A = this chain, B = another copy of it.
Amino acid sequence: MLSAHDIGFYEKHGYLVLPGQFSAQETGLLLRETHRLSQLEIPQRILERDGEQVRSVYAVHRHSNAFDRFTRDLRNLEPARALLGSDVYIHQTQLNPKAPFQGDVWEWHQDYLYWQRDDGMVEPRALNVSVFLDEVTEFNGPIFIMPGSHRLALDDETRTAQDGWENTLTADIRHKITPDALRRLADSLGLVSIKGKPGTTVVFDGRLLHCSPPNLSGNLRSVIFIRYNSVDNPLRQIANPRPEWLASRDPKPLTALADPFATTIADVRSPV
């Protein structure tokens, strides 16, 4: 599925953009699920600072048959396997339905710092497969990255809040890279903005520095992030781990589904 050029690009820059991976019917179905999940009053739903708009829903593959099947769609699974060089399992899923005018910034961060420090991940053999469910524009919260930053360990440039893991979920992030380090990295690596039509996939390394500005448009901007980890890289035991819905400890290899959406469409049409 991925070409040698794709793999080379990913290894060099830490990310890969694959437009047109999912049809309008498919993203439309997942958007209806996004709407349903956003209304569930569950601990996995995190609100913005305003206490009203939904910032994220975690573990959507456990709350939605459609998203569960989506994580086993070959179009998501195969790039993860190819780039990690092994079978994979789901470390975490996160749905970010960035609200019109109120969806807030995500500051620059490396996901792997959280997985390593808060979850006990041993090696950076994990990545994001993110899929745009809405069109992502310069106005509604595109994804900014620093290409090549996936090769950097930033332990010495990171300041960690002293309170609990709950802060990993809010706009006031827990593991902050110092402004001096960010400035130096931005100067040397440059910045890239990723935008695209619904159905665009962005695969990126767990260590790639990324951020996202607020949604200043009048439209919802939903992106689903599937964090796959290599089955050869299970979490070690740590004190006070984050809950299972943020960091799965079951490294069972995922198997692909032949036709993930056919059944899902029928499921969603039936009353819940």
| Chain A residues proximal to chain B, CB less than 8 Å | 100-102, 105, 107-108, 138-139, 142, 144, 179, 182-187, 191, 193, 211, 213-214, 216-219
Contacts and interface: CB of A to CB of B under 8 A. Distances in A.
Contacts of A182: 100-101, 218
Copy count, this protein chain: 2
A179 B193 CA distance: 26
A120 to B, nearest CB: 29
A186 B218 contact: yes
B105 A105 contact: yes
B218 A211 contact: no
A218 B101 CA distance: 24
A182 B211 CA distance: 25
20 contacts: A100-B182, A101-B107, A101-B108, A101-B179, A101-B182, A105-B105, A105-B214, A105-B216, A107-B216, A108-B216, A138-B138, A139-B144, A184-B218, A185-B218, A186-B217, A186-B219, A187-B218, A191-B217, A211-B216, A213-B213
A193 B139 contact: yes
